[in-house]
């Protein structure tokens, strides 16, 4: 089958793929082809689950802060242009033992970048938000300008905007099984149904399928797919939107959890950020409750820290694609072939800014300085550490 030729090919129309296509649709006259094995938004990638936290005082490293600031600007712009509510300014409380690295980095990020952050002892936080059971051994940093993104609503918005562009096409049910170097340069994507798509420049943002596709070109990526769980619970009025913030919680044992107030009547939502069960690409994830720890690891934290949270409503599973250091992997690994993956469960909040940066890289062959931190070379050297 003859390859369909376009200017830019994006494989994986999830968070990063759709965001990049949206930027290109508005800033470039190039022909863009998006491919997705399913039909976004869907539950086969890392973008489902309704909501994500948006923070700027960043516990994963202060080097992320400029990206977070730009992302917030672009989320608000998208909200204005779409007329949809996409961001809820709930505030986010980061809480844990004062010696926890995550808590220290949150405060360091705020100091370095002049971010507003209220510093609280645990008992002060509990008085301010009675839904918490905390004592003075814990420490909190409250970022009042942080909040919650509506993930699937954003994906739907991007898809609708892309569909209106005469220069962008989205092919769903297009499962790419192989990448090949083009005879005249560039790259060809071969789909399971025999369709072929060719372009001089390609963005591979296909989540769990990124590593297998690159392995076919002789490049091994340090990515691990991990099954994760999260759940919604009954809760009383203490957890109502406007009365309780989004949060990250580091326990004394070092486990890291995240959560949300009751939004739109869904209930109190909580998940665990660390741990999880590794599994191969393509393997079906076991449903919530299939693993012994699914309920226990959430329930023990609910019982300890959230006195007004009641019975489990329902749980769900998702996947992280992790790098060894849990920072992103964004690089041009072969001429004209960009990869964007390894977002390790904290990438979505940056998707608006990363779509802009990836669009610029594809269209102008120019890597923004902020992306240098996520280069593949850091795995073979001591350089590129994210502070």
Of 317, 185, 308, 287, which Cα lies nearest the Cα of 240? 308
Of 47, 349, 367, 378, catalytic:
349
Of 146, 150, 148, 151, which Cα lies nearest the Cα of 15? 151
Of 51, 224, 229, 250, catalytic:
51
Separation of alpha carbons 19 and 31, rounded Å: 16
Beta strands in the chain (DSSP E): 4-11, 32-35, 51-54, 87-88, 92-96, 118-121, 139-143, 147-150, 168-171, 176-181, 187-191, 196-204, 224-235, 246-250, 256-260, 268-272, 277-278, 309-322, 329-334, 337-341
Of 52, 159, 201, 225, catalytic:
52
Separation of alpha carbons 386 and 327, rounded Å: 8
Of 159, 227, 238, 273, catalytic:
273
Of 55, 269, 272, 346, catalytic:
269
Torsion of CA 181, 183, 185, 191, to 10 degrees: -40
Of 20, 159, 318, 367, catalytic:
318
Of 47, 48, 327, 378, catalytic:
48
Clarify whether 318 is annotated catalytic: yes
| Cα separation values, 311 from 150, 156, 236, 294, 295, Å | 24, 31, 11, 15, 11
Q: Phi/psi zone of residue 145: left (φ > 0), alpha (ψ -120 to 50 degrees), beta?
A: alpha
Secondary structure letter of residue 287 according to DSSP: P
Clarify whether 51 is annotated catalytic: yes
Of 302, 341, 335, 301, which Cα lies nearest the Cα of 321? 341
Kindly list the catalytic residues: 48, 51-52, 269, 273, 318, 349
């Amino acid at each position: 089958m003859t390859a369909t030729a376009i200017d830019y090919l994006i494989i994986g129309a999830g968070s990063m793929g759709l965001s990049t296509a949206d930027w290109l649709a508005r800033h470039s006259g190039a022909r863009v082809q998006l491919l997705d094995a399913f039909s976004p938004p869907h539950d086969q990638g890392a973008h489902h689950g309704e909501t994500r936290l948006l923070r700027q005082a960043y516990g994963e490293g202060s080097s992320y802060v400029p990206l977070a600031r730009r992302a917030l600007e672009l989320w608000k712009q998208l909200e204005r242009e779409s007329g949809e509510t996409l961001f809820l300014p709930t505030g986010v409380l980061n809480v844990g033992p004062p010696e926890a690295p995550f808590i220290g980095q949150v405060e360091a990020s705020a100091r370095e970048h002049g971010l507003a952050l209220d510093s609280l002892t645990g008992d002060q936080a509990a008085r301010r938000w009675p839904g918490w059971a905390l004592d003075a051994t814990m420490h909190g940093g409250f970022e009042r300008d942080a909040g919650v993104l509506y993930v699937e609503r954003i994906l739907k918005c991007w898809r609708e905007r892309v569909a209106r562009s005469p220069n962008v096409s989205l092919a769903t049910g297009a499962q790419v099984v192989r990448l090949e170097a083009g005879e005249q340069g560039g790259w060809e994507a071969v789909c399971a149904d025999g369709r072929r798509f060719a372009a001089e420049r390609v963005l591979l943002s296909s989540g769990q399928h990124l590593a297998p596709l690159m392995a076919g070109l002789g490049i091994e990526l340090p990515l691990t797919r991990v099954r994760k769980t999260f759940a919604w619970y009954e809760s009383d009025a203490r957890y109502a939107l406007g009365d309780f913030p989004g949060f990250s919680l580091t326990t004394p044992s070092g486990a890291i959890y995240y959560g949300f107030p009751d939004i739109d009547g869904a209930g109190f939502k909580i998940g665990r950020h660390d741990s999880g069960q590794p599994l191969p690409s393509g393997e079906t994830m076991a449903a919530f409750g299939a693993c012994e720890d699914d309920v226990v690891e959430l329930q023990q934290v609910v019982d300890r820290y959230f006195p007004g949270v009641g019975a489990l409503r329902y749980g769900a599973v998702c996947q992280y694609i992790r790098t060894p250091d849990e920072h992103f992997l964004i690089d041009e690994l072969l001429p004209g072939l960009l990869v964007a993956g390894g977002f390790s469960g904290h990438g979505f909040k940056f998707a608006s800014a990363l779509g802009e940066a990836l669009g610029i890289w594809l269209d102008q062959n120019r890597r923004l300085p902020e992306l240098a931190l996520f280069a593949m070379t850091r795995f073979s050297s001591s350089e590129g550490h994210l502070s």
